[in-house]
Structure formats: structure tokens, C-alpha cells
């Protein structure tokens, strides 16, 4: 059996997604034959309560100079990260002589808010193409992977950090002990480490299985983060639920005994226990829900294909890679996926090889149904497309938390 990456206990597997490609590995036709796949299985550790992939590709295969995800394509996320940054400035009373580090700053969508207020900062981003976008904004960025060594090397140059922040990045990293060792060293005595990631509680409740893909080594809960923090003389002092990515949790950590612990922590842990996130059974029930969604969606898509209906997809997301490959969705089911990210245009989706086209093709294609892969941005997208969909009688297809068609 596989061993837990956190506590080295035996992991209990609860779902196998089969052979999966690199989720953001959008490719050209001539690259099909050499495409990389791995067996994507997920397990639960009964000791530390961490949910994790049993196998993950090397980090260099996922984060590199051609990384296909740019955070700033979403206006909603720009607003969200502005509010996130403002909350840190207020929490730590940050001034121009303060120092903030962001682990995985992407194109600078969050850390730019500190730069604009003249606050000392350092963005850490290993993917060269998105890091360059951040640098072009004037943000101080180092193109490296964050770990204990980088943290040690940062202190002589910048001093210790008043705040270390991260969003939708911690769950990507398998070598979590090196991360937390670095956090412990780099953080000032009264500093805070604040990060948010897709929340295991929401994923289990909503059966949002497509939050699981190669980049997401872990699905965090307050139970598992607390266990990990305690291994490094840190503790969770606050938690705040977020609606982003279909449900995320923001965790605030500090050196043990240095900050008051909010009552939110104990309350959320009790909620997790009530949901059964401390035992395997909840995850086995999750697997059963996913199989129902798989059966229902493929039944619908096969019927629409038989009826001669045109189906396109909206959002060439990382999540869509899990859906298409696990369910067996092909170009016979979906004509194309439209997306606003230029680096994905005129390429094909990982594994399933569905064409990816510019967003402008969406309305011109005159679809009957639209499968919403970017369901975590449903509110923003549906408001944007409401008039078109209503006028043309086009229906959305949703699959989280269950399969449904929506018309106006």
C-alpha cells in the first residue's frame, strides 16, 4: 500500500480515475503520440485525515515555461484577490517597510495589490511564462519553486515576512514538510501564513470530483491542515469559508502560542466530523455519487448525439481534463471547447483531444447545448451569456452536484 505524504501511515484508496494526462497539457495534433499519462488514484489517511493522490507527475511536467493557466482572465477573481490582499494588510497592519511573500503568484493577480501600495513583497512563481507577466507589471518575482531552501535564502536578502500568502497553490505541492519548514523559518514571530485552496468538505458534499487532477496532490480540511501545522510548531488560528472554485477554505496559521485562536476553528472541525471527513465512509459515498454523475452525463450526451443536437463546451479548464478522460467524452460528443486563454487556442484538450477555440467562436457556432466545464464561475458566466442563451433557446448542461439542463 501507498504511504501518506504527511505522516507515513498507510493510505486507504477510495477512487480510481484511470489513466489521466497532464490537466493543463493542451497540445497540438503532432504531439498526440507522445502524450504523457499517469494512473490517477485518490486515497484517505485515517491518521492525519489528509486526502491525497497516490501518484503525481513530476512538478516540471506541470509547471513550466508554457503553463496554460493565467489567473487574471477572470474579473471575479481579480476582485476576490484584491479583497484577500486588503484583509492581510488590515490583519497585519502592513506598512511600506513590511514584507509579504506570495507562494505561487501566477501572473501577479494578488500580489500586485501590495506592490501598488508600496509594500515590500516577493512573488515566487516557477512557471516562467506567467511569472514574466507579473514581472512586466513591476512586481518583484523569483522564478523558482518555494521550499525550505528558498526560504532560508530569502531571509538574508529581505528579512523575515510579516505575512506569507498563497491561493490555490498549496494543494499542488507534494513535499509539504519542506514548505512548512520554510514557512516556519521565514515567518516573523508575529507573522501569519494565510492560504486558501479547494475545500474537501465542499468537494465531498457537492461530488465536485473534477477538482481532483494532477496538480492537486491534496484536498485539505481543517482537520488535516491542523495536523500538519502542529508538526511544524505552527497552528491554525482562523478559518474562513470562500465561494471560489465551487467552495474553498482560507486557513490562517501562526507560530504556536503567538496568536489568539478564533472559535471558527473548533466550529469548523465539528462540522467536518459531522460530515464524516474523519473516516473513510464519507469518501466511499462520494465515489458512489461520482459514478451516478458519470452514468447520467454520458446517457445525456449520447442521447443528444443520437438526436443530432450540437453540443459545445465552455471553459477549457484543468477540471475538464478529469471529466472528459474519466467519463469518455470525445469530439463525437462535443464539437469544441471555447476559452478566453490565447495559449490554449487552436490546440486540443489533454487526452480527449477535443478542439479548443477562441471564445468568439461560441455564439457563431449556434449550439443547442453548452456543457459548462467552468462551473465554478457559473454566476459570472451565466450573467454574461444570459441574453444570448435566452434569445436563441440554448440550454446549459451542468454536472455538479448532479446532471441537469438549464434554460431561460
pLDDT given for residue 1 in this prediction:
75
Give the residue from 307, 341, 369 where a domain finishes: 307
* CB-based burial, 58-95: b 16+ in 10 Å, e otherwise: ebeebbeeebbbbbbebeebbebbeebbeebbeebebe
Compute the mean pLDDT over every residue in the chain, rounded to the nearest whole number.
93
What's the grid cell of residue 175?
513535499
d(CA 216, CA 62): 11
Domain stops at, among 307, 329, 348: 307
Domain boundary among 275, 307, 339: 307
CA 184 to chain centre: 24
Stronger pLDDT, 74 or 328, i.e. the higher one: 328
Q: Does residue 295 sit in the same domain as residue 344?
A: no
107 and 220: one domain? yes
User: Which pLDDT does position 59 carry in this prediction?
Assistant: 55
Residue 366, domain CATH: 3.40.50.720
Q: Per-residue pLDDT tens for 142-164?
A: 999 999 999 999 999 999 999 99
pLDDT in tens, 386-401: 999 999 999 999 999 9
63 pLDDT higher than 60: no
Q: How many domains are there within the chain? A: 2
Check whether residue 285 and residue 317 sit in a common domain: no
What CATH number has the domain bearing residue 186?
3.40.50.150
State pTM to two decimals.
Answer: 0.89
Query: What would the pLDDT profile of 245-292 be if each residue is shown by its tens digit?
Result: 778 999 999 999 999 999 999 999 999 999 999 999 999 999 999 999
State the pLDDT at residue 107.
87
Task: Kindly state whether residues 239 and 384 are assigned to the same domain.
Answer: no
Which residue segment(s) compose the domain that 390 sits in?
308-406
The verdict on 366 and 381 lying in the same domain is: yes
Amino acid at each position: 500500500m501507498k504511504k501518506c505524504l504527511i505522516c507515513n501511515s498507510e493510505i486507504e484508496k477510495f477512487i480510481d480515475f484511470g489513466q489521466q494526462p497532464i490537466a493543463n497539457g493542451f497540445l497540438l495534433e503532432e504531439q498526440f503520440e507522445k502524450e504523457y499519462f499517469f494512473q490517477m488514484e485518490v486515497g484517505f489517511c485515517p491518521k492525519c485525515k489528509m486526502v491525497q493522490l497516490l501518484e503525481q507527475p513530476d512538478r516540471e511536467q506541470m509547471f513550466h515555461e508554457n503553463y496554460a493557466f493565467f489567473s487574471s482572465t477572470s474579473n471575479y477573481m481579480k476582485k476576490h484577490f484584491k479583497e484577500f490582499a486588503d484583509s492581510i494588510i488590515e490583519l497585519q497592519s502592513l506598512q511600506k517597510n513590511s514584507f509579504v511573500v506570495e507562494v505561487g503568484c501566477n501572473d501577479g493577480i494578488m500580489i500586485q495589490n501590495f506592490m501598488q501600495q508600496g509594500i515590500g513583497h516577493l512573488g515566487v512563481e516557477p512557471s516562467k511564462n506567467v511569472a514574466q507577466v507579473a514581472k512586466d507589471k513591476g512586481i518583484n518575482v523569483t522564478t523558482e519553486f518555494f521550499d525550505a531552501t528558498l526560504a532560508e535564502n530569502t531571509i538574508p536578502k529581505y528579512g523575515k515576512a510579516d505575512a506569507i500568502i498563497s491561493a490555490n497553490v498549496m494543494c499542488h505541492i507534494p513535499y509539504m514538510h519542506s514548505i512548512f519548514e520554510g514557512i516556519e523559518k521565514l515567518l516573523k514571530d508575529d507573522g501569519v501564513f494565510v492560504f486558501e485552496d479547494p475545500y474537501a468538505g465542499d468537494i465531498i458534499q457537492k461530488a465536485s470530483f473534477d477538482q481532483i487532477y494532477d496538480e492537486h496532490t491534496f484536498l485539505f480540511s481543517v482537520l488535516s491542515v491542523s495536523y500538519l501545522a502542529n508538526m511544524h510548531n505552527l497552528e491554525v488560528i482562523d478559518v474562513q469559508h470562500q465561494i471560489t472554485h465551487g467552495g474553498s477554505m482560507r486557513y490562517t496559521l501562526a507560530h504556536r502560542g503567538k496568536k489568539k485562536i478564533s472559535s471558527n476553528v473548533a466550529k469548523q472541525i465539528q462540522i467536518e466530523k459531522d460530515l464524516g471527513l474523519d473516516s473513510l465512509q464519507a469518501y466511499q459515498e462520494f465515489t458512489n455519487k461520482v459514478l451516478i454523475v458519470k452514468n447520467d452525463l454520458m446517457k445525456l450526451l449520447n442521447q443528444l448525439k443520437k438526436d443530432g443536437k450540437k453540443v459545445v463546451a465552455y471553459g477549457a479548464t484543468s477540471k475538464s481534463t478529469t471529466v472528459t478522460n474519466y467519463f469518455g467524452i470525445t469530439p463525437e460528443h462535443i464539437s469544441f471547447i471555447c476559452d478566453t486563454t490565447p495559449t490554449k487556442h487552436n490546440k486540443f484538450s489533454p487526452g480527449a483531444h477535443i478542439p479548443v477555440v477562441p471564445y468568439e467562436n461560441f455564439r457563431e457556432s449556434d449550439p443547442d447545448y453548452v456543457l459548462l466545464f467552468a462551473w465554478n464561475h457559473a454566476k459570472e458566466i451565466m450573467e454574461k451569456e444570459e441574453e444570448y442563451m435566452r434569445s436563441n433557446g440554448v440550454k446549459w448542461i451542468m454536472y455538479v452536484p448532479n446532471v441537469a439542463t438549464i434554460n431561460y
